[in-house]
Amino acid sequence: YIKIVESTRQPVVADDELMLFDVEIANLGYGESFFDVYIDLLDNREGLTLSVDEGPWKLKGTEVGGKSTLSTLVVEKGPRLNVNRYKPVKLYLQSKCERDGEYGNKISSDLIWNVAREITPPPNTQPSTAKGAAIAPSSSPSSAPTKSPSKKTLAPTQSPAVIQPEIGRYIEFTRHCLEVEFDGDIKEFDTFTTNKSTLDVTIRNPLRFRGIKMDDQERLEKIVLEYRKVSGRSPHWHRALTIFENSTTAELNFMDSEEDSSGYISATWKLPSIDFAYEIRLKSICTKSPGAPPALNGFISDSVVGLVDRAPPVVMGVPQPSVNLFPGDELAVYFTEEIECELPYLFQITIEVSELGVVFIKDLSDRDDLHVVCSGNMISIQFNEERVPTRSYSRLLGRTYNLKIADVVDPAGNVAETYSYQSNFVCSPPNPGLTITAVGENVLYLPHQAILLSAVISNDDKRYIANPVGEEWSRTFLELGLDPKSNSDDLTIHVNGEPLVEPHQYILMQRENVTTQVEIRKTSTGNKLLFQPLTLFLRSSCAGDEEDPITVSADVWNHQGSDGSKYIRFTPPCPAIKWAGEMSKERRLVFSKQTLDGLNSIIDMSIFNEGYADRKLFDRSILNDSAPDEEKRLEQTVLLYRRSTDRGSWEKGLLASGAPVDFSAQGIEDELGYAQASWDVSGIVDSTYKIKVQSQCTDLGGVADDRTYDTGTIEFILDRVPPAIYGKPQVELTGPVSVVQDEEFGFSFKEPLFCDEPYTFDLTVTLSNDGNVQTMSHGNGLHAKCLAADIRFRFERQALDGFSTNTTVTLTLSGVQDLAGNQMETYNETFLWNQTVTNQAAPIVQTSNSTSVAASPECYPGSSIKLAGLGCDGIDNNCDMLIDECNEDLVMPKITFREGLAIDASEENGYTIINSPSFLSLSSAKVYIESIIEAKDDCATDLVLTVENAIGVACHDTKFTVTATDGRCPTQTVQKQFKIKVDDSPPVVSITLDLGEEFENKFEAQGRTYLGISESYRNYEHTGFSYTVTENCPQELKTQVKISSNEFEYDNSKASDNMVLLRETNDPRQSHGLRIFVEPKQCGLVTENLCIRSPVGFRYYQLDVSATNYAGASGTESAYIVIIPKELPELSVNSDGNPNPAYFISRMTAETSPASEVIQTKHTVWDTTLEDPPDLPGVMMSLTEVVSAEMTIQGITVPDNQEELLALKQALEDTLNGLNQLDSDNGSRKRKLSEECCTSQLKVVSIGGVNVDQLRRRQLSEDAVEIVYELIQICDGQCGNETSMPSVKDFAENLSRDLESPQGTFAATLQSKASEAGIDIPEVVVQNIAVDEEIKISTQSSVAVNFVKAISIPIQNFESLNDGDIDSVVSALPKILLSTACPTDSSVTSCEVSFVNAVRKSLSIGSARRLIVARLLSSEILSLSYEFNVIVDCPASGCNVDSISEALQDAASQDLTAAIESGQFMDTLSAETGNATATISGQVTLDDSTCTSHSQATGGSTSSTIPSSYEWYPSWGGTDKCTNASGMPTYMRDNLHYLSSSLLACCRKHFHWDISGCVTKSGGVAPSANGTEEWYINWNTFRCQQSCIKSSSQDPTLNCGGITSTETLFQSAEECCTTMVPWVAKNVCEAESTPPYEANGTGKWFVSYQNQKCAQDCPEGSSPLCGGIITENHIDLFDDARTCCSERLWWIDIESCTSN
């Protein structure tokens, strides 16, 4: 018995593998015999190799207890490579004796096959498998097919029988999916580069040599080309497309193309539209065989990287240096990509120099005008000095040049456009001259006028140059600037109309000069008019002169005293005044007799001195003996009047005493600038007058001042006489009722009346006839109208009915008043009404029910020429026997605005747009439209108007339809469309007070916006204020920012900035358009300033931001800033010692201490159509989402020591972050973060025993451990709103499901990570996971800074240099630069260093580079450029990109220079590269332009720009020290990078890591505490500190603040204070800058205007005379109380003031 085990018939076996079968054999007899297993060679004609275990087999019969045995059958492919399918072979089993012919011939066999297929599907059936499809080996088809019965035998209703298909069995091997490969140019060059839109791709069929075509492979479906960008951000492969002749595209399938006899196939790839470096590969796709290994179902070739580049190279930036090129230096031009630099160069360069008549050329010819090096993306150009006229670079100085570069080609063959650039060579050293003179003699200037002076700027002769006038190369650059030390009073200087904030540049030839106008303006609001002279400087701004420019200076002044002292002097103006009180609100004042009698004819008049902060009016008066003479100009400030019709002189108003009303008299003006005087008008006759107040000053003699300053004029009326009737009143009733009812009656008066409604007068008419008495009044039977000097009235309709002739009429008029309020006596008149009149006969109107016969209407067709009125002219105009019917009315009604109304409206696209007003609701808008429109018609009087809205509120597009309908003729209907602004929602305002993460706001979590700031002596504190406004309608909102307080403090030295500084910014974000600073103070018990204290003992500020939309709806939000007192009441302190916010907030109420004092108000505009930009130029905004989660794990033991706990925490983080990086096949389970905008990180917060209140928690088992972790996701501001991207919360939930999944890898990975850390975790079971409901969101601004640093390495012999050594150095430097020069500040989030290019230069070692390529020195330079990419988080104050970039570059240069100069750089490079540094022949330097200085040669002699005092230089070698001995290396001479003016400066510059050691080793005395102990300013405290390192062992008299390398240093605290913070009182700054940091005052005296006395400058409470410490420098101090009283309180008796 022999049988192949069915389960071992595997349908899929690769053609390079063995096919294995298990064969069961047995002896079914009774005895024990030997058996052979064999095949018949006739069955195996195709040469399969078949083998079984070696026999013969000794088998015991099953009838006597024997069992079957298994053997292994091995089948291998035959010798024909292109055959994979074979006919089945029989396997035989026969006893040895029978096979040898000894006995019998019984043979058992089984068929060897592994695939069964349908050969022919039976007719009339649908086979279950396709033709030739394999059938599983376990199926047992019939041994022979059943024939189908004839249709003739079937019954009519009988279905045909199912016929079984014929099954064929085979031994079949499965061929691998075709392993195609690239061929042609791609294979030859292993890359591709193209600038076309398509690319021909050739592949090869590797089986064609065996005669196997691609089409012959049954399972091969298609061969495609896949590509992707060579970028970590684009990991996905894309299918390539091809393009057909009809311009349609489809997936590129090489199977669709013709295969030639050698197996090559070519197809056209439609390249991607984006130029990039692409990686491509071939992919064969075959029909999938179930259970087959991947190699049988598909094949992926090796990838090839190539470049698609259709854009020509473009010059990046401008050539370097961009200006001031030294003729011998290189001029570098960089392109946006690498260019073709193979020799000979294909590009052409021409440089034309102005006025030389010479063009320097570099092309394919042999001309050597220019030395050119091309490398990577850079072309470096240098002038050949031999080709310069006179063979001297000096001929190029000061000239301009025009550079042109043409035919630059990139590797893809794209040709750049011709590039042109114009710039200049460095200028010739100047000989500056500056002369300043006043414009005119004895010219006086008012404070608002600019003092004019003339400045002559010249470039004078140079003694060593003969006659260079007019030559271009003698041109030089000069800067005119202001010495800031001379401008301590903050005057404003303008030169040629532009402010001299930064120096102005002038370009002059030799012997050339220019004259410019200098203006000096007084910008402060202080009262000072006399200033010290200003100093202007004129200095060279030539490149190379930066360190010590050639400079001259001149003083600016306009007044010289009798003692020869020079000043800048302004002349006081005639004081500006304006009306105050009621006078400022009215432009017309009327006084009646009754009013004047009550005032005794004395009227109080008030004015306001607009310059009260500078001086009172009396302080400017010529009558004030104590005022300085130069300030006394005011003669008097008098009240003037004259009749309105007069054009003559003005009269002076008089006091009751008869003296003129003079507001400048002593004692009249109060502290706030208000002056009041009483005008006696008893002697002035009734009339209409104009009055004004005038400041009258002395004549200045030519100054355009007019000697006077007037208030506005007010109309002033004196009227003591009541109104009287003019002439006879027209009031008698005459004629019948019909006539009287149509008449108007009235009174005329001699003067205008008071006609405001409701009327003050009463008018009654009483009619009496035969007992019928009726009294009528205004609104009751008659209508009265008062207009100017008339009162008119008419009777209402039917009011007179029933009264016959001879009716008695009584008329009464009372209460009539004139404009002054004088009242007329009551007027009465009685008369008889005579109704007898003669009237003409009225026409008889025929009606339809009349008994008379109406005549036919007469037809007037000619009247139809006139359209208007045809429907109502009583004529039959259309001859239809009808008069005035609707058909005759040819004019439609018209909708217009009511007459007399001024409506702000315009027409646009068929709509009448009402621009203003705007409305809060549709109903109010509808009412308004109804009130302003009317309908007119030439005939109809009963037009019906309707107003309807159809679409609801639509902001400025809210539409209304107005319809006018003629009630008589309904077809006469018109419509008019209106648009009107309706905004039914108020704006929503929010305020933020954010001082950054460094500031701890103890009032932050109080529900509303609160900020707590500690009380201090600082002038102002920043509040971090910003606000936003949202509105549903696009518009510009009127916005008001109001700052108020519960206290008020007034300092006359800060007239406009008391308590609060409010400044506008240039921030592009609307929300940050204002900065608000507040004084962190509160009113003291004794103060020199006017101060209103709060009863609650602390000050707070209330910030109210309100926004009003165009409909008038307002939204308001408030924020509060609490000034926390230094000494806190007991109830205001929490147990932890911090202020209790609830204590303060509970007292900030309208009842206890309202913020009723308005300090400042700012009106601005919020544009709702604008959004705050996500970033500033160069700035990135990132959004951080953090969600917390907690999981409970069984099997973890919390370590006892900190080291193991941290190791376990790290293992957990590595495991969770590993899961975070996995991609899931199920996109709904995991979010795949976009690498272009988001990164994620898992952070373990705690392990064991953490209380997280907001988490959903379950009961823990006793041996479980809680682990709290955070999922942090950071997305930059460029991420779009992808709705398909779930939030970080979803990600956390999905991760939780992975952690809890039985198939997850978390447990095994955590055990492995922990084991690596030395922690044993035998078992990990995740019990449960809970995710926080809240997502914490924050934003962060950061700036990306890129800059390049070049390392110059001198090489002795390039020819002997090993390429491997160069590669070692190039590869090692990024790591060294990363560790040496990358910033280590906590705000730096990342720093990367990458290699840019290598440039080989011929030049001398050092920075003083006079580069003359024709004179090659013994050494050459290998310049290696590396790019730094640094990302820095911006501080709360904002992203100043330029400042951050400059700071990073300077820090990198300093660190690299220090490492190079100390030898640390070379030591590290040698360690990293082995012997690769052996070829370096000199000092490695940093090729940094900021460290480079140049010298110039002119006329054969050297003119050095280095001062002679710069004699110290570093001595590198075994000892870090500086020296001033002879023997300075050549490359250090004339180079400020190496030279210093002192030993300490040299050590600080070159050995900053050990300044003391350097000074000591150099023979000097080391500064104590590793510093100089010099003084510099601390801008956080506005106090000074010393440049030394703070330590416990330092001298207690030192105030060490750390060693500074950026701030200006001073020799004393006093010098530092007076120079850097002049507004702070010098003694306070000096005392608080030195231990024990306590200011006790000077003991001198100052004035307290509030208390009307003088007080001492000493701490409050230390003495009854102490008024507190004066912290501000502008407050005058006096040596004794008597001087203080006489100088500042001169109006108080000197003895009384002194004793007080």
Token pair, residue 816, equals: 């009539």
Q: Report pLDDT for 879.
A: 76
pLDDT digits (tens, 9 = 90+) for 104-130: 778 899 999 988 888 765 554 444 443
Inter-residue contact 719 to 590 (CB < 8 Å): yes
Evaluate whether 629 touches 604 at the Cβ level (below 8 Å).
no
Please check the confidence at residue 1222 and state whether its pLDDT lies above 50: no
Taking Cα atoms as reference points, which of 921, 926, 936, 928 lies closest to residue 961? Answer: 926
Residue 1174 has pLDDT above 60, yes or no: no
- Strand 348-353 vs strand 359-362: parallel, antiparallel, or unpaired? antiparallel
Mean per-residue pLDDT, 949-975: 86
pLDDT digits (tens, 9 = 90+) for 1047-1101: 988 876 555 667 888 888 767 788 888 889 888 888 876 566 788 888 888 999 9
Structure tokens at 904: 């702000």
Determine how many CB atoms are found less than 10 A away from the CB of residue 572.
Answer: 23
Q: Which of 587-596, 1216-1225, 1375-1384, 1403-1412 has the highest mean pLDDT?
A: 587-596
What was the pLDDT predicted at 142?
A: 36
- Whole-number pLDDT of residue 838: 41
Say if CB 833 and CB 766 are below 8 A apart: no
Tell me which amino acid residue 1188 is: S
Instruction: State yes or no: pLDDT of 703 exceeds 70.
Output: no
Q: Cα(230)–Cα(276) distance, rounded to whole angstroms?
A: 8
> Is the Cβ–Cβ distance between 725 and 825 less than 8 Å?
no
Whether the per-residue pLDDT at 281 is higher than 90: the answer is yes
What is the predicted pLDDT for the residue at 1534? Answer: 66
pLDDT at position 113: 92
pLDDT for the residue 158:
47
DSSP letters for 1416-1474: --S-EEEEEEEEEEEEEE--TT---HHHHHHHHHHHHHHHHHHHHHHTHHHHHHHHHHG
Q: What percent of the chain has pLDDT over 70?
A: 83
pLDDT of residue 1002: 73
- What residues does 687 pair with on adjacent strands? 718
3-state secondary structure of 1559: helix
More confident residue, 702 or 284: 284
E strand or H helix that includes residue 1696:
helix 1694-1699
Q: Is the pLDDT of residue 1498 over 70?
A: no
User: Residue 465: what pLDDT?
Assistant: 46
What's the whole-number mean pLDDT along residues 1316-1327? 84
pLDDT of residue 863: 41
The predicted structure's pLDDT at residue 111: 92
Q: What is the pLDDT of residues 124-178, one digit of tens each?
A: 444 444 334 555 454 443 333 333 333 333 344 444 555 677 888 999 888 888 8
pLDDT confidence of residue 1417: 36
Non-local CB neighbours of 1143 within 8 Å, separated by 6+ positions: 1129, 1131, 1132
Through-space distance between the first and last CA atoms of the chain, rounded to whole angstroms: 138
Q: What is the mean pLDDT of residues 883-903?
A: 82
Give the count of alpha carbons within 13 A of 26, CB side only: 15
What's the pLDDT tens digit per position in 212-245? 888 888 888 899 999 998 887 777 899 999 988 7
Mean pLDDT of 931-935: 91
**pLDDT at position 330, please?**
92
Given a cut of 80, whether residue 1248 has pLDDT beyond it is no
Pick 267 or 1569 by higher pLDDT. Answer: 267
Residue with tokens 């078992």: 1323
- Which pLDDT band, with edges at 50, 70 and 90, does 460 fall under? confident
Q: What confidence category does residue 578 fall into, taking pLDDT thresholds of 50, 70 and 90? A: very high
Q: How far apart are CA 353 and CA 330, in angstroms?
A: 16
Rounded to whole angstroms, the Cα distance separating 314 from 336 reads 6
Q: What pTM was estimated for this model as a whole?
A: 0.35
- 663-677, 833-847, 859-873, 1115-1129: segment of lowest average pLDDT: 833-847
Work out the pLDDT band at 1287, boundaries 50, 70, 90.
low
Q: Rounded mean pLDDT of 1261-1271?
A: 74
pLDDT at residue 433 is higher than 60: yes
At 533 the pLDDT is 93
Contacts made by residues 867-871, CB under 8 angstroms, sequence distance 24+ = 867/891, 868/938, 869/938, 869/939, 871/938, 871/939, 871/969
Question: What's the pLDDT score for residue 1168?
Answer: 87
- Out of 522-526, 1061-1065, 1190-1194, 1247-1251, which region has the weakest mean confidence (pLDDT)? 1247-1251
Q: Are 1123 and 1082 in contact (CB under 8 A)?
A: yes
Looking at the predicted structure, is the pLDDT value of residue 978 above 50?
yes
Please give the pLDDT value at position 1494.
30
Backbone angles phi, psi at 1568, to 5 degrees: -70, 155
- What gap in Å lies between CA 314 and CA 294, rounded to an integer? 47
For 1544-1562, the pLDDT digits (tens) are 778 777 776 667 778 888 8
- Closest to 1084 in 3D by CA, of 1700, 1670, 1674: 1670
From residue 1560, give the alpha-carbon distance in Å to each of 74, 1472, 1586: 90, 33, 21
User: What digits encode the pLDDT tens for the residues 317-374?
Assistant: 999 999 888 888 899 999 999 999 998 898 999 999 887 778 899 988 878 889 999 9
Lowest mean pLDDT among 408-412, 518-522, 941-945: 941-945
Q: Are the CB atoms for 1670 and 1646 separated by under 8 Å?
A: yes
Q: What is the mean pLDDT of the chain?
A: 80
Say how far apart CA 604 and CA 600 lie, in whole Å: 11
d(CA 664, CA 697): 11
